[in-house]
């Protein structure tokens, strides 16, 4: 899914490589007339993404479940990813806004 806004650092990310909020309520909070036209003309701005280092040592989450780390997480634009998936896109344009390292 392409963004209309041009940005020198814009790049394409596979949605499968992104950690994002899957149950984003944003579109459902809009009035019904806006919800019907929400993003029907495309995406204006690229999503904002944080880049992470993946730990070489497997980490565990709650209950000892192995934590699946992803290289990127979405800071702004999770609802755009939901829209992209619903419309059969597998990639989306975004910009890396800051590079973060996981504590080791």
For 31-42, the pLDDT digits (tens) are 656 655 656 666
Q: Is residue 3 part of a domain?
A: no
Asked if residue 2 belongs to a domain, the reply is no
Q: What pLDDT is stored for residue 15 in this prediction?
A: 92
13: Cβ contacts below 8 Å, ≥ 6 apart: 47, 49, 72, 91, 92, 93, 94
Residue 64 in domain: yes
67 part of a folded domain: yes
Question: In total, how many domains does the chain have?
Answer: 1
Contact at 8 Å (CB) between 70 and 19?
yes
Residue 15 domain boundaries: 11-99
Supply the pTM of this predicted model: 0.71
* DSSP result, 27-41: HHHS-HHHHHHTTTT
Would you place residue 90 in the very low, low, confident or very high pLDDT band (cuts 50, 70, 90)? Answer: very high
pLDDT in tens, 40-59: 666 788 999 999 888 888 88
Q: What three-state secondary structure class fits 2?
A: coil
- CATH number of 53's domain: 3.90.1530
The answer to whether the beta carbons of residues 12 and 92 sit under 8 Å apart is yes
């Amino acid at each position: 899914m392409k963004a209309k806004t041009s940005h020198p650092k814009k790049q394409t990310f596979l949605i499968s490589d992104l950690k994002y909020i899957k149950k984003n309520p944003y579109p459902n909070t809009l009035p019904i007339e806006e919800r019907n036209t929400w993003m029907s003309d495309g995406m204006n701005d690229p999503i904002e993404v944080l880049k992470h280092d993946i730990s070489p040592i497997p980490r565990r989450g709650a209950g000892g479940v192995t934590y699946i780390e992803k290289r990127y997480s979405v800071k702004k634009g999770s609802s755009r990813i939901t829209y992209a998936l619903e419309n059969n896109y597998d990639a989306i344009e975004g910009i890396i806004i800051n590079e973060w390292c996981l504590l080791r």
